[in-house]
């Protein structure tokens, strides 16, 4: 009962908040996140009234499955953007920009935070600075996808944006593994090549292989059904299965065997969209089914944001430096690589702004740091949480502004407005 009550509260709070935000024309994802903050443990949840909000983070942990499923479908949807006919046109640009902007963001944050370390060595170590630089690579695919869907963004920038966001996961895993390994070596003095090189390569390879196999299996099973409803049910079931399989992990000696759920589900979507002729229609139907799931996911994400990070001035200062230099790195790295690959002026100018949101992958990285490195990982986690709080609240707004300025979010035409007005008037007449 408690889980169902929590899900219903999250969904209703998110939907009601979108009504309040509608006059401001802000993205729905921002409304969902703020709704989550309001019903979270630091606001209404702190009152301790059952059914009014989430009283503690343990209440939120019961909804972890919802978040895992939502991330699986988000990754599956982004994977469907890797259609070969589109990649032939933008594949090289997406690959170059995806790698370059991630590495430049890491470089900028590394240099800036190492400077902070020299000024405040008692607050931030060099090892922590390097780890935070690696976390700077990650971009939140969920927030970006939600803005694109809500406003039906379409055009060259959008087609380039989604593959780049997807590439960030693979690039981030590699950069984080190498940087975190170096950071631990700086502290312990022992080099661990297995965790720096072998484990991330195994994780990426296994994730892509598992996703490709499940994509082929899904396409073959689709042939057994003629009804689009049954095909949709099958698609949902296979995404569930793939997300659950990607949670398997174990170790063989020093080698860790595991998967990235985002990479696995992205690969599932990529293979599915390229070898199944019905993938486009099924994705449209799937988008309608996942809409409330994504709403609940973002409300939960908002409730999970740690507002107590503002209590420590050092975290606020370091967090502000992190946000400024990561944003500069993302923007300038994208600008330079976009110009180098002969992208249009609109893409050069606005693409970097759309890559600012940060959440899931970054939180996963800081969680690993906190678990494997208790003595220094706590600070890394708090700074990342501070940055995520700011990026998640303002990133979607900047993404919308950039896509609108690039001409890929079109204002509602007078014809559409009139058609909607006529429908509302007709509905009122029928009620009379």
The predicted-structure confidence for 272-320, as pLDDT tens digits, reads as follows 988 887 777 777 777 777 778 888 888 887 787 777 767 778 888 888 9
Annotate 286-334 with DSSP letters as a single string: HHHHHHHHHHHHHHHHHHH--GGGGG-HHHHHHHHHHHHHHHHHHHHHH
Q: Which of 46-50, 328-332, 367-371: highest mean pLDDT?
A: 328-332
- Return the C-alpha torsion angle 250, 255, 258, 260, nearest 10: 160
Position with higher pLDDT, 153 vs 371: 153
pLDDT value of residue 1: 58
Region 51-66: mean pLDDT is: 75
Percent of the chain with pLDDT over 90: 14
pLDDT of residue 42: 82
Most confident segment among 25-34, 138-147, 262-271, 418-427: 262-271
Mean pLDDT of the region 176-194: 74
**What pLDDT is recorded for position 298?**
80
Q: Shortest CA distance to 103 belongs to which of 273, 326, 283?
A: 326
- Check pLDDT > 70 for residue 360: no
Phi-psi map region of 399: left, alpha, beta (phi>0 left; psi -120 to 50 alpha): alpha
Residue pair 386/316 in contact (Cβ under 8 Å)? The answer is yes
Greater confidence (345 vs 49) lies with 345
| Confidence (pLDDT) at 421 | 58
Higher-confidence residue of 91 and 31: namely 31
């Amino acid at each position: 009962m408690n889980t169902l009550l929590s899900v219903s509260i999250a969904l209703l709070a998110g939907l009601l908040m979108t009504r309040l935000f509608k006059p401001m024309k802000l993205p729905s994802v921002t409304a969902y996140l703020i709704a989550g903050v309001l019903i979270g443990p630091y606001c209404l949840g702190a009152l301790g009234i059952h059914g009014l909000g989430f009283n503690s983070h343990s209440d939120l942990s019961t909804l972890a499955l919802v978040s895992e499923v939502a991330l699986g479908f988000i990754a599956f949807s982004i994977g469907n953007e890797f259609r070969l006919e589109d990649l032939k046109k933008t594949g090289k640009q997406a690959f170059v920009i995806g790698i370059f902007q991630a590495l430049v963001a890491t470089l900028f944050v590394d240099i800036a935070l190492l400077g902070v370390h020299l000024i405040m060595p008692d607050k931030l170590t060099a090892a922590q600075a390097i780890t935070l630089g690696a976390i700077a690579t990650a971009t939140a695919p969920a927030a970006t996808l939600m803005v694109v869907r809500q406003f039906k963004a379409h055009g060259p920038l959008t087609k380039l944006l989604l593959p780049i966001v997807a590439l960030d996961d693979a690039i981030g895993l590699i950069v984080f593994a190498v940087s975190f390994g170096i950071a631990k070596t700086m502290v312990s003095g022992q080099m661990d090549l297995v965790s720096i090189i072998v484990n991330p390569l195994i994780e990426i390879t296994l994730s892509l292989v598992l996703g490709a196999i499940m994509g082929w299996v899904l396409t073959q099973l689709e042939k057994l059904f003629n009804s689009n409803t049954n095909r949709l049910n099958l698609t949902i079931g296979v995404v569930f299965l793939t997300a659950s399989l990607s949670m398997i992990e174990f170790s063989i000696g020093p080698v860790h065997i595991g998967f990235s759920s985002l990479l696995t589900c992205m690969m599932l979507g990529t293979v599915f969209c390229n070898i199944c002729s019905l993938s486009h229609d099924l994705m449209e139907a799937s988008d309608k089914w996942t809409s409330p799931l994504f709403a609940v996911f973002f409300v939960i994400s908002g409730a999970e944001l740690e507002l107590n990070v503002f209590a420590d001035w050092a975290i606020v200062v370091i967090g502000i430096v992190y946000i400024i230099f990561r944003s500069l790195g993302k923007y300038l790295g994208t600008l330079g690589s976009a110009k180098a690959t002969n992208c249009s002026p609109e893409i050069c100018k606005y693409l970097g702004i759309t890559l600012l949101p940060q959440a899931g992958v970054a939180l996963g990285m800081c969680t690993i740091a906190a678990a494997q490195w208790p003595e220094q990982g706590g600070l890394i986690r708090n700074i990342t949480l501070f940055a995520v709080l700011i990026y998640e609240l303002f990133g979607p707004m900047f993404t919308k502004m950039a896509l609108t300025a690039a001409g890929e979010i079109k204002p509602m035409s007078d014809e559409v407005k009139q058609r909607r007005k006529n429908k509302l008037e007709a509905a009122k007449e029928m009620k009379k």
